[in-house]
Amino acid sequence: MEQKPIGGYFELEKYGSGGNFPQKDGILLNTGRNALEYILISLKKVTKVFIPFYTCEVVLEPFNKLGIEYNFYHIDKNLEIADKVTLQSDEYLLYTNYFGIKDAYIRQLARDYKDRLIVDCAQALYYEHLEGEKTFYSPRKFVGIPDGAVAYIKNGENSSLYGLDESEDRMSHLHLRLEKGPQAGYLEFRKNAAKLKNQPILNMSLKTRDMIDRIDFNMIKESRKKNFIRLHEKLKDSNLLGNMLNKNLESFACPMVYPYWTNDIDLKSHLIKEQIFVATYWPNVLDWTTPDMIEYELANNCLAIPCDQRYAEEDMNRIIKLITETL
């Protein structure tokens, strides 16, 4: 009997009571990278931004479009900035809320860098931004929608100056996965993701807004945290991030995935063979770094174990069993 696939891109989201989108009071835009671009434009004058080596290459898109200089910085084994970054006039620091589990550390950064901090919450939809904090979100990393993003910045550009996006031609993979499974819609998923590249800043489409309004985000949050805790209970001792997670377990709002850092270089391929689709964050990091760097190690060996709302305790137990038996 073929095993149930776990992980990978989302299917069309199941609707619940709705009306509880956690970032509904932000500026609703079309893509995460454009939400970052919106923040950079709203800042008026930016000479340089420091960004982590360990990040998705699409983050560079707004810097290249706007001609803004950027420098890379390193993180440590706790996913925190390795060496303090000193900012000059009109320079900013971009930090990623990795896997949605670094909420408490961002509070510390906010005290240190104040209004010079920009927070990438593409992996942290439920992070509660601070008043005046420059933050952007990408809800499609958490639910089955075709596009959409949220930006927060005090005195930002008037979003009514931008047009309205349309999402209908980016929906095919959501329907295909729901009706025929992940393999059937994977090529469409890749094609639809590619359509988001180099888009102009637009307001979130009416279709995506309607979908978001009907999704039960409270249920999703509860389900993700429950699955995360189940995985951590059984995998923390073999997880190289285990100690860090132990210290932060009660300090973050909601995870995107369960990050499992292992020295077993064959574990990822074994899980994929067993229909557990673990994402790689991020392949581009291998080109930006060298094997002696921690970011290279994370990109190679930190597995993004699915723990989202599509799955229950029995699915988490299956993942745990596969990992523990392999190790």
CATH classification of 217-326, choosing from 1.20.120.1460, 3.90.1150.10, 3.30.70.270, 3.40.50.300?
A: 3.90.1150.10
* Whole-number pLDDT of residue 188: 96
- CA 66/CA 92 separation, integer angstroms: 15
Spacing of C-alpha 24 from chain mean position: 18
The answer to whether residue 272 scores a pLDDT higher than 70 is: yes
> What residue spans define the domains of the chain?
27-213, 217-326
Q: Express each pLDDT in 86-131 by its tens digit.
A: 999 999 999 999 999 999 999 999 999 999 999 999 999 999 999 9
* Whole-number pLDDT of residue 327: 79
* Whole-number pLDDT of residue 274: 95
- CA 254/CA 235 separation, integer angstroms: 18
- Helix or strand (DSSP H, E) at 93: strand 91-96
Q: Express each pLDDT in 5-59 by its tens digit.
A: 999 999 998 877 888 999 999 999 999 999 999 999 999 899 999 999 999 999 9
Whether the domain at 27-213 and the domain at 217-326 fall into the same CATH topology: no
Class of domain 27-213: alpha beta
* Whole-number pLDDT of residue 1: 55
Alpha helices for the chain (secondary structure H) = 32-42, 60-66, 103-113, 172-180, 182-194, 206-213, 217-235, 242-248, 267-273, 285-288, 294-301, 313-326
What single letter denotes the amino acid at residue 228?
F
Q: What proportion of the chain, given as a percentage, has pLDDT over 70?
A: 99
The answer to whether residue 187 scores a pLDDT higher than 60 is: yes
- If we measure between CA atoms, which residue out of 199, 155, 158, 163 comes closest to residue 43? 155
- Per-residue pLDDT, averaged over 71-84, amounts to 97
Reduced to 3 states (helix: H, G, I; strand: E, B; else coil), residue 94 is: strand
* Whole-number pLDDT of residue 248: 86
* Whole-number pLDDT of residue 18: 84
The answer to whether residue 305 scores a pLDDT higher than 70 is: yes
* Matching residue, tokens 């249920």: 219
17-41 in b/e form (b: 16+ CB < 10 A) is eeeebbbeebbbbbbbbbbbbbbbb
